[in-house]
Amino acid sequence: MERAPVKTYCIIGDPVHHSLSPGMQNAAFNALGLNCTYIAFRVPTSELEASIQSLRSIKIAGFNVTIPHKVAVMKYLDELDATAKKAGAVNTVNNIEGVFKGYNTDMHGFIEPLRRRKVDFEGMSVLLLGAGGAARAIVAALSEEKGIAKVVIANRDQKKAGELARAGEKMGLKCEPLPFDKVTTASPDADLVVNATSIGLSNEPSPVDSDHIKKGSIVYDIVYRPVVTDLIEQAKMAQASVVYGYEMLIEQGARAFEIWTGLEAPREVMKKNLLGIFGEPT
C-alpha cells in the first residue's frame, strides 16, 4: 500500500523561534501515526500577504497564527468560522480543498481549563489585564458563560481598553476599562484575575502582589514560559487557585489538531511534550 504524501502544517508569526507548538503538534501527529509534520515560519508584518500566497501555492494543510498577525491575517482568508468572527481574531487556519478557513481556538483554549475545574461564573467579578488579540478571545469566551457580574479591563493603552470594553458590551457582558496603574484598586474584589499581557515572559515582577489578590479567588496567567510566573507565585501566597498558561496552550493546540485531522487530540502526549521530564508544577 502506498503511503499518503506528507501533510505539512506550520505556525506563522514574528518572533516564532520560541514557539512550543512544533514540538507539541509533532508529538501529537507521531502518537497517532499520522504522516504529518509541523514547522515554524518567521513572517514579518510586511511579508504577511506574500507569505499567505506562498502557503497557498505549496498547498499547506493548515497553520497556526501567532503575534502579531492574528487580526491582520483575516483579510487574506476565504472563510471565517463563528469563533473567528466573534473573537475578531484568527489563530488557526484549515485548508479545505484550497479554501483557507479561519478559526479561533484561543476561546476554547482559555475556557476549557476553567470548565474542567467546574468553575461557577454566577455573580463573578473578572479583572482582565491586557486588551490585545488574546484578551479579545478571552472576552468572547467569557461572554458565553452565564451570570458574570462584570469584567474590568486594565490596559496601558486606554483607547484599546475602551474598544475591548465596548466589544464585550455588545456580546452581553458588563465591561469597564481601567488604567493599568490602577490595577491594584480592582484586584482585591476580583473573583477571577486573568493576565493576557506578556508581563512575566521575561520574569518581570507581577503587576499584582499577594496583598492585592483575594483569598480563594482564581488567578489565570496565560504566559506559559516560565510555567510559574511571578503572578502565579503571588497568587499561591494569597491562597488563590491558579490556572497555568500551558493549560490554555495545550487546549488551543488540541482544538486546532482536531480541526485539521478530525481526530481526538492526544492531550496527555501534548502535555508531556510541553512539561517534559519535570512534570506538572505543584
Active site residues: 70
Phi and psi at residue 252, in whole multiples of 5°? -70, -35
SS (H, E, C) 13-36: ECCCCCCCHHHHHHHHHHHCCCCE
- Nearest-CA neighbor of 203 among 226, 222, 177? 226
Reduced to 3 states, what is the DSSP secondary structure of residue 175?
strand
Amino acid code (one letter) for 266: P
Compute CA 56 distance to the chain's CA centroid, rounded to the nearest angstrom.
Answer: 25
Phi and psi at residue 152, in whole multiples of 5°? -95, 125
Note the residue count of the chain: 282
Identify whether the C-beta of residue 196 lies closer than 8 Å to the C-beta of residue 128. yes
**Rounded to an integer, what distance in angstroms lies between the CA atom of residue 79 and that of residue 102?**
6
Compute CA 21 distance to the chain's CA centroid, rounded to the nearest angstrom.
Answer: 12
**Rounded to an integer, what distance in angstroms lies between the CA atom of residue 279 and that of residue 282?**
9
**Between β-strands 79-80 and 62-65, what pairing exists: parallel, antiparallel or unpaired?**
unpaired
Identify whether the C-beta of residue 62 lies closer than 8 Å to the C-beta of residue 260. yes
Number of Cβ within a 10 Å radius of residue 225: 14
Please give the helix or strand (H or E) that residue 100 lies within, else none: strand 99-103
**Rounded to an integer, what distance in angstroms lies between the CA atom of residue 130 and that of residue 113?**
20
